[in-house]
Chain A
Amino acid sequence: MELKVEKHPDGVTELHLKGRLDTAGTGAIELQFSAATGANRAVIVNLSEVEFLTSLGVRLLLQGAKTAKSKGGKLVLLQPRELVLNVLKTAGIEPLVPTFQDRSAALAAVTG
């Protein structure tokens, strides 16, 4: 599991997750992820290279969204694959943490 932090010139931070966000994968990146969501106000979590997601990964994303909100910021999810989106929907967080396929819509949501 990998996490890359990309700072866009417009102040948006994009977190690129890659790999399996399961128990082991979540454990591998959770400290880095929490630090990044706590330190930035406008966060896009790019899920396009996440091939697998379990409840611990869902919890990590949800906690990130809560952290962002508590600091007056926003966190959204970008381009989850179909099977990953299915987990987000089943878990009931898809409406709580805004999820976009379209990058410009995601950008508008975190900067607006």
Chain B
Amino acid sequence: MTARLTLAPTLPDTARLAPWLEAQAEEAGWIEAVAFSIGLCLDEVVTNIAMHVGEPAGEIVLDLDQDTETITARIEDRGPPFDPRAEERVLPTSLEEAEIGGLGLVLVRRFATTLDYERQDGVNRLTLRFARVPQS
């Protein structure tokens, strides 16, 4: 069964994500660390779209599917092609040089178990998978 949430590509609308995810977590019994990772990654992705694309992204469509081992989140938007796997970023080594642009994607890459991207018919489709029991 798929659960769907649609959001406008605006920062105020990102506030609807957390309560929706909390309801999913409760219903499906996600453990805390996994719920945290999912919440973090989805907040980063949706915020990125709202901050850097905005209206041209159209509606953001978030679908969640789960089986006994994996929770899969698919996020679609109609903004310009953007492959989050393509960017690499070096972490800062001093307070002076610390710039946080792109940090959200660093967190997504580390906290999602797998990350896939495809562009099809004008749609960015990002697929994040999370193990229900986190690997140590």
Which residues of A come within 8 Å of B, CB atoms? 20, 22-24, 27, 52-56, 58-59, 62, 65-66, 69, 83, 87, 90-93, 96-97
Contacts and interface: CB of A to CB of B under 8 A. Distances in A.
B107 A24 contact: no
B32 A87 contact: no
| Main SS at interface, chain A | helix
Interface in B18-51: 18, 32-33, 36, 39-40, 43-44, 46-47, 50
A24 B91 CA distance: 25
B43 A22 contact: yes
B110 A65 contact: no
A69 B96 CA distance: 10
21 contacts: A22-B18, A23-B43, A24-B14, A24-B18, A52-B18, A52-B40, A54-B43, A54-B47, A54-B104, A55-B44, A55-B47, A55-B100, A59-B103, A62-B95, A65-B95, A66-B95, A90-B111, A91-B91, A91-B103, A92-B92, A96-B98
Contacts of A92: 91-92, 98
Sorted nearest first, the 10 A-B pairs with minimum C-beta distance are A92-B91, A24-B15, A55-B104, A59-B100, A55-B103, A23-B47, A83-B36, A54-B43, A23-B14, A96-B95
A49 to B, nearest CB: 15
A96 B103 CA distance: 15
B134 to A, nearest CB: 11
